Structure 1
């Protein structure tokens, strides 16, 4: 695997592949890789001849009081994992390369509707930062396909909408969430949890599964969500949000909707954890 940090090197390698008629897959990450990230590389191999990964902790998607300074950076370990997964090229730009004019003077991308609510409400400006950096990385790499994990469900809907609205010739592939044996969704922020907190954090996915089991026979969604929040809070976590939404539009679910998604976020110790569960009703 080759590692490059500037745009010229990246484009030289990818253009050489293009001249050979090879399909290019892309997996953008913020590093501190775990098995969930590697599953994205493995999925990309099914659809492309050459795989590019990027590691960039994007300052535009972090709020003023969020954890960018403490976000784990483990480049050497990440490179070893990517080599083992047969990644072909790693792009590791700095903020100065991605945002040479500074954040305050950077053109940005705003995706309406699906960016509203949920993490968009809890983290104002977050999805503007996500859409902007993914748009720029797509422009730099120009992949045929790109893989993203379903743990960040709202993020995938934002990116799919952006690709559709801006007529980008990229197939965005959603990959199932990789989980610990306990059911906890794998996340770099799980590193903030001690053993006791990890045991507590499992209640988030357990509560979502309980909620999913109730949807077929109960039509009072507000009451169910109130009970779900109480379960999460009683476990020792603090609920940020839990909602039932239409799986594609992310609008609040109605009784006529059959394709649903449960979206949830909760604080556990120092970590803010997110998860989701898709539900198909008969």
Structure 2
């Protein structure tokens, strides 16, 4: 990663925090509505070390991970079939597209009715939210595979399975990982929406408790935790995507 890619967002964040601190410190903005960054850092550390923040974070993270895995197991094979089999494309695409018009908050009560409350329906909601970007990037990744490479594999005697394993899967992997990366961030949002509507012991419930108590600092600390969680998972998969891309590039040069 190049230095400007790191410096630019860090400098931007530093300017925002400085202006924020000055606005609250001078009284231009009431701390009851927008706590100062210094107070939020103190509260975040207190919640992390002595409060329930870590336990609730683990619960939300578990739901997001389970949902991401479930969405991946369905979206990637289905995306491959849509890209490769014409009748699957014609049969599935209209319904998949129409499903995106249904908001996650509308699906949550149905999941609670069908499955119950707790971690399982929340994980299913995470999967629903993360499914579409994974599906689309898989379809695009498979459809954009270079035809000359696929034809060369056939000429070398590769059957369908060998072509999938040694040619199509490696070449489409960066696109698939890009979809999973986007889905991971969305799955965190899905977990919070699920906890708002279906209970659970995650960060969504913690936000509800702080809201009812008019605890602005607690709400901001929880929101920052959600942001860090999504960014951390997103960054981890981005690194994995870069590693895979470099490995594919090296393989092409052989």
Does TM-score exceed 0.5, indicating one fold? no
Structure number with larger C-alpha Rg: 2
The structure carrying a bigger helix percent of its residues is 2
| More relative contact order, 1 or 2 (CA 8 Å, 6+ apart) | 2
The structure carrying a bigger strand percent of its residues is 1
Task: Please report the TM-score for the alignment, with normalisation by the length of structure 1.
Answer: 0.21
